[in-house]
Structure 1
């Protein structure tokens, strides 16, 4: 398969104000094994990134959410020691509205849970790159009414 590869991230917020929390998973597989980030994965042929975000969220956590809007696009590029491209993912961060379910790790997640936004801001967990920035952007878009 060629590069870049399209993937979707489900940025699922719940609550409001100081009580806002976001659903994160602890990754099982490289490149972010052990780090906390948004549930997500590859966009399948014929599937929109919004649909993929909701599907991946359900597969990884058992949580059902309604995809609402694109938040941002994130390039993840890694080259080997020789400078050769190892991988390039274009991640479509999708704002999802929580519908139902209790987070439980499945698929390629070690753990899944609601994390208070305050913990993300102070990096209380080892986070994947851009998690804090993406949450901040999602909250800003929420205040602006998407």
Structure 2
């Protein structure tokens, strides 16, 4: 049984990549500006739907490469979360179950592609629910959790 991404028959499994790097004593996180719904025009973590026959790690690597031009190595699962958007009538318009993965860059060149209209490295101190890189509260929480995990992996 096939399901549409908009008004799906069941939740769609997806991945999010929390890609961190150290630059001149500060930590940066990789962000994309979404080119399509949900959240078109907003900043978020790279990611997308898992394809049939693909592992979570494989999807994370593929989606990050497609959206940012960067090849990543998945390191650890950060969190699993439901992302549910309802329309004005309360119907489920989008429902994703997303596995967020802490990653590091292993190659490639930064450029926006596929579903991303822009891509940027953002100082984690600038990432919040307000400002230039306004993110959802969920994304901010995931990034904070990934920062702690990243310290433990050093």
Relative to the length of structure 1, the TM-score reads 0.91
Aligned pairs, number: 146
Which residue of structure 2 lines up, in the alignment, with residue 72 of structure 1? 79
Query: Do the aligned partners of residues 80 and 121 (structure 1) sit closer, same or farther apart at CA in structure 2, a change above 3 Å counting?
Result: closer
Greater strand content: 2
The equivalent of 2:12 in structure 1 is 5
Contact 1:50 / 1:68 at 8 angstroms: preserved in 2? no
Q: 1:87 to 1:35 in 2, by over 3 A?
A: same
Matches within 5 A, 1:111-122: 111-121=118-128
After superposition, give the CA deviation of every residue in 1:27-76 in whole Å (9 maximum; x if it has no partner). Answer: 01111111111111110111111110111000111101111111001211
| Post-superposition offset of 1:80 | 2.3
| Matches for 1:1-146 after TM superposition, within 5 Å | 1=3, 2-15=9-22, 18-121=25-128, 123-124=130-131, 125-145=133-153
Q: Unpaired runs of 5+ in structure 1?
A: none
- SS of the residue corresponding to residue 6 of structure 1 reads strand
Distance 1:122 1:31, change over 3 A: closer
TM-score by length of 2: 0.86
Query: How far 1:143 sits from its partner (Å)?
Result: 2.1
